[in-house]
Amino acid sequence: MLYEKSEDNNRMFLINNLEGSNNIECGELVTIHDLPMDGNSMDANVLKVYFFNKEFYVKEDFTENATLGYTKDLTIMYWSKAAENLLGYTRNEILGKNISWIVPENEITAVKIIIEKLEQGKLIKGYESIRIHKDGRVIPVGITVTPLYKINGEFHGIFVLYRDLSERTKLQEQLETAEQLWRSAIQCGKFGVWEWQIDTDLFLFHNQWYQLLGLDDQWKNEKTLLEWSKLIYEKDLPQLQTTLMDTLQGQEFIVEFRMLKTNGQFIWVRGKGKVTQWDAEGKPLKMVGTNEDITDRKVIEEQLAEKCRQLEIAKKEAEQANIAKTKFLSSMSHEIRTPMNGIIGIIHLLSKTKIDLKQQKWLSMLKESVDSQMSIINNMLDITKIESGKIEPENTLFNIKMISNEIFDQLCILCQPKRLETKISIDPEIKHMVIGDKIRIKQILLNLISNAAKFTDHGYITMDVNLLHTDEAMQRIEFKIIDTGIGISDQDKDKIFDSYYQGDLNSKKKHMGTGLGLSISKQLALLMDGDIYVDSTFGEGSTFRYVCNLKKYKKSVIPNENEDIEFGADQHQSELSYDRSVFQNKIVLSIEDNEINQEIIEATVKNSGFHILNAYNGKEALRLLEIYQVDLILMDIQLPEMSGYELTRLIRKDVRFRDTPIIAMTAFAMEEDRRRSLDSGMDDFITKPIEFDRLYHVCYKLLSEKCKIY
């Protein structure tokens, strides 16, 4: 018979008598009763265990923890089901084996020492160790041991309980890892953890913060918040104190301030914290938080702010320079366009007179030269508009076949001195009447044919106009210019659309120009939802393809306000015409200080049936308006004594002329000029040199609308 000593002599564990139980197998615990001791019926110092066949028998597990027993020579004599689950061995595999099967070699000595102490009657407190699973895994366990004695009181072995600590150990490792990461983050991130005992005003920091500020060990002693505040930059202290007080009232504590280091330098700090403890009445007792050194960030912010300040200055300087450039270009445009208007106007008037064939040829050559000059002027203005983003496509109704033929006529004139062959082909499927930016499409095509003629000395230049795609609303049209010129090298193909690029100046000296034509053409094409493509072989020739989308024209009696109709020259005007009776006996006041321009305007509008009144400045115009009820006003902008803008505003104050159409006719060609004209009260805007077809149309449109009103 074996028995177990009770540790406190106040309780006992009794295992039932097994005599007569033939079905009990070796290694099975039958029952265990936890009984109070009364000191009379049983020996208070022993827990009796009865044996079957004089061996140590046990039946079912009485705990979910693993239990086992082994003799003092370390032979396993009992193995519970829970032990099997924990360490992997079955009873048949492990009973009778040495504990070295489950105990690491370096733990065997410790087990022997424990057995010796138990045999000496000493108590062994629970402890933690590891055991080896059948598959070799290490299992952390909490261990409780109890001595076992024979009936004669002889020490026999120990009874052991293993509590699986795997989950706890895993959690502990995770916590340790997290703590290590936290400590590393504090060190690497220049953080300082702090704690403020509000009731005692004691303020403590993590060691990292002392090192960061360069403080000696005396600062590691308990310091009050007041003492720490002496290290805070004086100007930042009020904000810090206010934020701290707000936090005690329930607000969030986040504040940036400066602290003094022992070397006399200030560092920027971002403090963040919260109240973590209150008393029974809800009064804050403790705050915890972090301080982060954000000096590097603040330096970058200050550098960025300085950069932004410098950029703002540079931006203003650039804007001022751009304004100056715009004013200069506007002024130059006016100075150039004013005389050009006279030249083009005289050419237009001469074309209406009776001249012989030779004079017609000379006049045509003069017109082409002027058109070429105007193309250069327009290029210079357009590149500025494109760079400033102040250019918008216009919607004009025009005849694509007519434009193509005009461009081809220009090409023939350009090719005549070199005796180059020319040919044009227009797809018959193309609907001629389209809506788009006629002026800029012509500008692009003129640039392309001018380049082709410039770089082609022998052979031919052809122009094909093809229909690529069509639907109910639009046509996708391709203008293809093919030449047998000098071609473009591979290294130049990617650069020819760059502004001012002129290729190899040594080999192309005789072909030099402004270097703007292709660049502007490309940008204008993209602006109008099109593109320009080039295919070229150096020494053989080039093919330029301009592809654009043009809306189809749907006939209406009067076009809408966003759709200007362009009337072709008299000799080409077949598809569109207008009722000249709208012009008959209408009085037009032309306000223009340039005598040549006045004469051209007078001669032109008289041919259309208008009566013309001329004024050379604002005072004359106002005097004439007192006398006559005019139907239309042509307004120059740059007038002596008062500008066209001022004069327009004065005219609009007179109720008689509140609805009289006023058209700006000016050599100022920038978008700002157009907008300013319309804002002053004018109805439309025409740039000089004047396109007389455009003038006729605008007059017709405005007068027709006025007739509808009345």
CATH number for 261: 3.30.450.20
**Please, which pLDDT band fits residue 333 given cuts at 50, 70 and 90?**
low
Torsion of CA 388, 389, 393, 394, to 10 degrees: -60
In tens, the pLDDT along 603-662 reads 888 877 889 999 999 999 999 999 999 999 999 988 988 999 999 999 999 999 999 999
The CATH number linked to 619 is 3.40.50.2300
CA 229, distance to chain mean position in Å, is: 43
Are residue 30 and residue 148 in the same domain, yes or no?
yes
| Percentage with pLDDT > 70 across the chain | 79
- Kindly tell me if the per-residue pLDDT of 515 is higher than 60: no
CA distance linking residue 445 with residue 408, whole number of Å? 9
What's the CATH code of the domain at 412? Answer: 3.30.565.10
Q: Kindly report which listed range (267-276, 302-311, 365-374) carries the lowest average pLDDT score.
A: 365-374
| Better pLDDT: 244 or 689 | 244
Tell me the C-alpha distance between 381 and 376, whole Å: 9
Q: Rounded to 5 degrees, what are φ and ψ at 295?
A: -60, -45
Residue 146 and residue 24 in one domain = yes
pLDDT at position 9 is: 38
Q: In whole angstroms, how far apart are CA 434 and each of 480, 527, 573, 693? A: 19, 18, 15, 17
- Supply the pLDDT for residue 580: 66
Question: Rounded to the nearest 5°, which phi and psi values hold at 87?
Answer: -110, -5
pLDDT of residue 353: 82
Q: What pLDDT does 364 receive?
A: 80
Q: Give domain status of residue 364, yes or no.
A: no
Pair (526, 586) in one structural domain: no
pLDDT in tens, 518-563: 888 888 899 899 999 999 999 999 999 999 999 998 765 344 433 4
Question: At residue 231, does pLDDT exceed 50?
Answer: yes
Are 177 and 160 members of one domain? no
**Quick one: pLDDT at residue 48?**
36
Same-domain check for residues 483 and 530: yes
**Per-residue pLDDT, 678:** 92
More confident residue, 331 or 228: 228
State how far the alpha carbon of 552 is from the alpha carbons of 429, 438, 452, 629, in Å: 13, 14, 30, 40
In the chain, pLDDT over 90 holds for what percent of residues?
A: 33
Does pLDDT of 27 surpass 90? no
Q: Are strands 662-666 and 684-687 parallel, antiparallel or unpaired?
A: parallel
Q: Does 155 share its domain with 177?
A: no
The predicted model scores a pTM of 0.44
The reported pLDDT for the residue numbered 330 is 65
CA 48 to chain CA centroid, nearest Å: 83
Count the neighbouring beta carbons within 10 Å of the beta carbon of residue 399: 22
Q: In whole angstroms, what is the distance from residue 69 CA to residue 145 CA?
A: 9
What gap in Å lies between CA 51 and CA 20, rounded to an integer? 11
Helix 671-679 to helix 644-653 angle, to the nearest 10 degrees?
20
Q: Which residue has the higher pLDDT, 642 or 382?
A: 642
The CA dihedral of 675, 677, 678, 680, to the nearest 10 degrees, is: 120
Torsion of CA 432, 438, 443, 447, to 10 degrees: -20
pLDDT per residue as tens digits for the range 130-139: 999 999 999 9
Distance, CA of 46 to chain centre: 82
| pLDDT for residue 572 is more than 60 | no
Structure confidence at residue 565 (pLDDT): 40
Q: Tens of pLDDT along 385-426?
A: 676 666 778 888 899 999 999 999 989 988 988 999 999 999
Indicate left, alpha or beta for 501 from its phi (over 0: left) and psi (-120 to 50: alpha): beta
Do 53 and 120 fall within a single domain?
A: yes
In one letter, which amino acid is 154?
E
pLDDT tens, position by position, 37-76: 333 333 323 333 433 333 333 444 456 789 999 999 999 9
Q: What is the dihedral of CA 332, 398, 434, 670, to 10 degrees?
A: 20
Q: What angle do CA 448, 449, 450 make, to 5 degrees?
A: 90
- pLDDT tier for residue 706 given thresholds of 50, 70 and 90: low
Residues 11 and 148 in one domain: yes
Instruction: Give the chain's domain count.
Output: 4
Tell me which of 491, 518, 552 is where a domain ends: 552
In a domain, 356, yes or no: no
pLDDT tens profile 421-451: 999 999 999 999 999 999 889 989 998 998 8
User: What confidence score (pLDDT) does residue 164 get?
Assistant: 92
Residues 26 and 123 grouped into a single domain: yes
Q: What token pair was written down for 257?
A: 């301030």
Q: Tell me the residue ranges of DSSP E strands in 168-265.
A: 191-197, 202-205, 223-224, 253-260
The three-state secondary structure class of 467 is strand
Count other C-beta atoms under 10 Å from residue 62's C-beta: 17
**448 closest CA partner among 376, 528, 539, 521:** 521
Per-residue pLDDT of 198-226, as tens digits, reads 888 888 877 777 777 877 777 767 788 88
Q: Which amino acid belongs to residue 241?
A: Q
- Res 475: pLDDT: 95
CA 58 to chain CA mean position, Å: 75
**Domain extent for 70:** 2-164
Residue 369 lies in a domain: no
